[in-house]
Amino acid sequence: MKILAIESSCDDTAAAVVEDGREVLSSVIASQVPEHILYGGVVPEIASRRHCESVSGVCREALSTAGLTIDDIDAIACTYAPGLIGALLVGVNFAKGLSYSTGKPLIPVHHLRSHIASNYITHKDLKPPFLALVVSGGHTHLINVKSYTDYEIVGRTRDDAAGEAMDKAARTMGLPYPGGLNMDRVCADGDPASYKFPSPKIQGSELDFSFSGLKTAVINLVHNLTQKGEEIDVKNIGASYISCVVNILCDRTQKAIDIIHPEKLVLAGGVSANSVLRREMKKLADKNKIELFVPELKFCGDNAAMVGSQGYYEFLDGKTASLKLNATAALDIDKNVTI
């Protein structure tokens, strides 16, 4: 089964053709990073306009690269939630138009489910059940993945996501957008023990995360140094901050392992590209004698290949949508669209 997938949840317009959920025949991404660098982050209105300009072209290129025409496609999949509402609407409405004009089934795909599915592309033999840690700019979740379409949230952030906390810290330290990526690169040889940051906990919810206080701590540190006219030690502050974030992620993941006893651990989301997180998660998995699965770096960030992969399993489970499908800015991973 060949699926044309569309992703437009944030600032990357992407299209891909995926066969049977595992084989990527093409994957095309129109990145907006150079434009958003000017503003230090994603500007939703600009992102939506660029999606409008790019979506047709990336779909055409995805089909061409795969050596196919729209007639060879069996279904259309698109990200419908969660994300920036204006950006999502572009992809959803374009997918609905394709579905209507071609008579192909329309498959709605949840963005976080897609990130988990990026591992199905990289690891052809990976199958649920497993424990997944999904870490991105907008989300930090621990998820008990029972099947390809059955999810249980066991831990989540109560405020900021880990990726957002990294991006804001990086911007405070004067690093360009995308902050988390640049902080990982610039601070690779910094001393992670140079600065002490708090490790917030949620009383009564040992598997949940909180990063807002940690973000405030690094902002206050940088501001205080600036007011005193002291140098900002970017490498060591960044390395210490990354280490603190990763330690929090590993701590909650260990607690979830102790409760669920999974045989497999999956890492997913944009922050799964972070070198420190990948290294420490490997140590955690080895300590617990379970297998760790991480996506190939090119599939860590937003892309349409992962949408096509998850779309295949949504289709097999009978989850298709009518032309009444709408975009949704916020929706838990364990909820299913009913349209």
Token pair for residue 9? Answer: 């949840």
What is the C-alpha to C-alpha distance for residues 29 and 59, in angstroms, rounded to an integer?
10
pLDDT at 264: 98
What is the C-alpha to C-alpha distance for residues 339 and 322, in angstroms, rounded to an integer?
6
What is the C-alpha to C-alpha distance for residues 78 and 95, in angstroms, rounded to an integer?
6
Measured at the CA of 282, the angle between CA 332 and CA 208, to 5 degrees, comes to 35
Q: Which domains does the chain have, with CATH numbers?
A: 2-116+299-316 (3.30.420.40), 128-296 (3.30.420.40)
Measured at the CA of 20, the angle between CA 89 and CA 145, to 5 degrees, comes to 70
What is the C-alpha to C-alpha distance for residues 106 and 97, in angstroms, rounded to an integer?
10
What is the C-alpha to C-alpha distance for residues 80 and 110, in angstroms, rounded to an integer?
6
pLDDT at 338: 56
pLDDT at 38: 85
Q: Which residue has the tokens 């489970």?
A: 317
Q: Which residue has the tokens 């990357």?
A: 12
pLDDT at 337: 67
Token pair for residue 106? Answer: 């329309």
Measured at the CA of 302, the angle between CA 300 and CA 306, to 5 degrees, comes to 75
Q: What is the pLDDT along the chain (339 residues), one digit of tens a residue?
A: 999 999 999 999 999 999 999 999 999 999 998 899 888 889 999 999 999 999 999 999 999 999 999 999 999 999 999 999 999 999 999 999 999 999 999 999 999 999 999 999 999 999 999 999 999 989 999 999 999 999 999 999 999 999 999 999 999 999 998 899 999 999 999 999 999 999 988 888 999 999 999 999 999 999 999 999 999 999 999 999 999 999 999 999 999 999 999 999 999 999 999 999 999 999 999 999 999 999 999 999 999 999 999 999 999 999 999 999 999 999 999 987 656
Distance of CA 87 to the CA centre of its chain: 15
3-state secondary structure of 264: strand
Phi and psi torsions of 326, nearest 5°: -125, 160
Q: What is the CB-side half-sphere exposure of residue 192 using CA atoms within 13 A?
A: 11
Q: What is the CB-side half-sphere exposure of residue 188 using CA atoms within 13 A?
A: 8
Phi and psi torsions of 8, nearest 5°: -150, 40
Q: Which residue has the tokens 């990063």?
A: 211
